[in-house]
Amino acid sequence: MAKLAGDHAQVLVGGYDLTGDHNKVSVDDSRVMHDQTAFGEAVHNFLHGQRNMVLTHGGYLNAAAGRSHPVLKANGLEGIVSVLVGQNTDPAVGDPVYSLSTQQYQYSTAPEVNGIIPFGATFGNKGLAGGWGEALTPPVSFTNSTNGSAVDNGAASSNGGAAFLHILGAAASDTYTITVEESATGAFAGEESTLATFTLDASAVGAERIAIAGSIARYTRFKAVRSGSAGDTVQIAVSLVRF
C-alpha cells in the first residue's frame, strides 16, 4: 500500500461535515496496562485493561451555521465522530474510517492579532466500542432509493461490530429506511440479509450507532429505501467497524 498524505481526510461530527474547518485530527486508541509482575520474573508482565479512545481535533473557528463553532462551542456534544482517510485522493467506498460514539469534554480557541482564530476540541469514548473500520460510503447525495457498492473484507468475521450513520443533509419531506446488508458472495442478488437497521430516517440531521452481534459476512453494503415521491436530496455517510 502506498504511503498516505494527511490532506485527504474528512471529519464528520454528529451529522455535520466539519472537514473544511479542520487541519488536523489525532486518534489515540490505547489500553490501560496492569502490571502483574511477580517476584522472580525477569521481565515485566502486563495484563490488558480497559480500552481508552480519544479524538483530538484542531482547525479554524468558523461561526457560520452548521460549522465548527456552533457545533462544538457548548463543549457537551454527545454523538458519533467519524474520521475518513482517503488513499491520496478523496475518501471512497472501502477506505479506512475511524468511528466512535463520543462525549466532548474540551473546546478552546485562541484569538490573536494578525492570525486566523484556531480551535481545539477533544472527544472521549462514551463506553461503546468503535475504532477503525471501512467506509460503506463517504458523504454521498441522492434523491431516490439507492444501493451502495459492495465492500470486500477479504473474509467473514465472528466478533460482532458496529455500524455508524451520519445524516449530513436531511430530506425536506421524504423519509428513508437506511440499512447495512451482508452477503457471503458479494452478488447481492437475493442472497443478502439485513445486518443493521438505523432508526434515523433522514428527516433531520443527526448520527447513530447500531451494535452488531455475532458473525458478519465477507461482503457488506449500505441500502437506502425512499418513502415519499418528492425526490428530496439527502446526504449520508455510513461506515462499519468489525470487532
Are both 159 and 224 inside the same structural domain? yes
Are both 121 and 13 inside the same structural domain? yes
Ranges of beta strands (E only) in the chain are 9-13, 16-17, 22-35, 46-60, 78-85, 96-109, 118-125, 131-142, 146-147, 151-152, 161-169, 175-183, 193-197, 206-212, 219-227, 234-242
> Which pLDDT does position 4 carry in this prediction?
82
- Count the domains in the chain: 2
Output the domain CATH number for residue 146: 2.60.120.1110
> Which pLDDT does position 7 carry in this prediction?
85
> Which pLDDT does position 3 carry in this prediction?
83
Low-confidence ranges of the chain (pLDDT < 50): none
Residue 168 placed within a domain: yes
Are both 195 and 88 inside the same structural domain? no
Are both 56 and 114 inside the same structural domain? yes
